[in-house]
Amino acid sequence: MKVRYQYRIYPTPQQVKGLNQLFGCCRVVYNDALAIVRSVPQGEKWPSNAELQKLVITQAKKTAEREWLADVSVVPLQQSVQDLGAAFKNFFESRSGKRKGPKVGFPRFKKKLNQQSARFVRTGFSLKGNKLELAKLGRFKVKWSRPLPSEPSSVTIIRNTAGQYHASFVVEIGPINIEPLRPSIGVDLGIKTFAFLSTGDRVESPGYNRLDRKTRRFQRKLARQVKGSKRRAKTRLRLAKLKLKTANIRKDFLHKTTTQLIHENQVVVLEDLAVKNMLGNRKLARAISEQGWGTARTMCEAKANMVNDREVRIISRWEPTSQICSDCGFRWGKVALSVRSILCVSCGTEHDRDGNAAKNIEKSGLGLTQDSK
């Protein structure tokens, strides 16, 4: 199985200049190839990846407008055209229904201020001791937070909007063997409490309120400043660092939580939440988006494939998990969100709303009846 291992790298000022030039060349090659495809008359055949590489790289280097493309390695330029081909493939598979998930739009031109990346295959990079050597760029200092499990097949150099540089390696790993502590568990995702488990445990999410207030303050400040000014550029960088800090806290929390769920349970049952529709509620949109429910589900499914004898099951969003007593199966119907504790009139058991839903989610995922007796 192929996975990514990402590390922070620290380029020198000269290497930063070379990386910025490389990112610009990759962006130009991608945009030139996309422009050629968009200019093809309707009904005519589009050029292949090999033909696009010949047009936007080989022949473009011979012109005065694009002769500076020869100053960087050709490997990431070729991969940039390959990325465009993958974007078109995802677009057509999404339209035909072969690709699952949300619809993928038509490829768009890359912008200079967004996250930049360049990918090197084995012919363009090598590992020299503790340093990473890239073609025409030299050796880079890498912060090895953990060892690579195998020889990498490619590396992607990334510059995020906060100005940080990372190296993302693609490596091959084998399945992991871990004995589960429990046969199954149901997970009810929430807002105030990130997850309520069918075991009765709660998983509290980290607080984002302080960072959120600072982010909104800098967003208002950025909106008032003159475009193109140095003060606006400084504010934009501080805002990007704040957003990156929030994203890193969320990613770290989700990784730890999903890893624990997969390692300790043989079957993890989740609800199929319509997160995109729920974000239409303007009163809850910010709180819902901060939790990262969709990312948590994706992580669980990916990590279940990495561990032997693990499974993630998704139940229908229409299952009445909050309307049924998990003890006797009596259905009391819809209850307002403000009601957090429910007393079953049939068996007399008092339930926490989320805890009862988590138990019903587990039963539905395992195909059991609601009446446990």
d(CA 248, CA 288): 17
List 32, 319, 327, 354, catalytic entry = 354
- Quick one: how far is CA 203 from the chain centroid? 21
* Residue 32 annotated to the active site: no
* Residue 67 annotated to the active site: no
* Residue 354 annotated to the active site: yes
d(CA 169, CA 119): 10
List 32, 83, 188, 362, catalytic entry = 188
List 32, 83, 271, 362, catalytic entry = 271
C-alpha torsion sign, points 178, 179, 183, 186: negative
d(CA 133, CA 47): 34
**Which residues belong to the active site?**
188, 271, 354
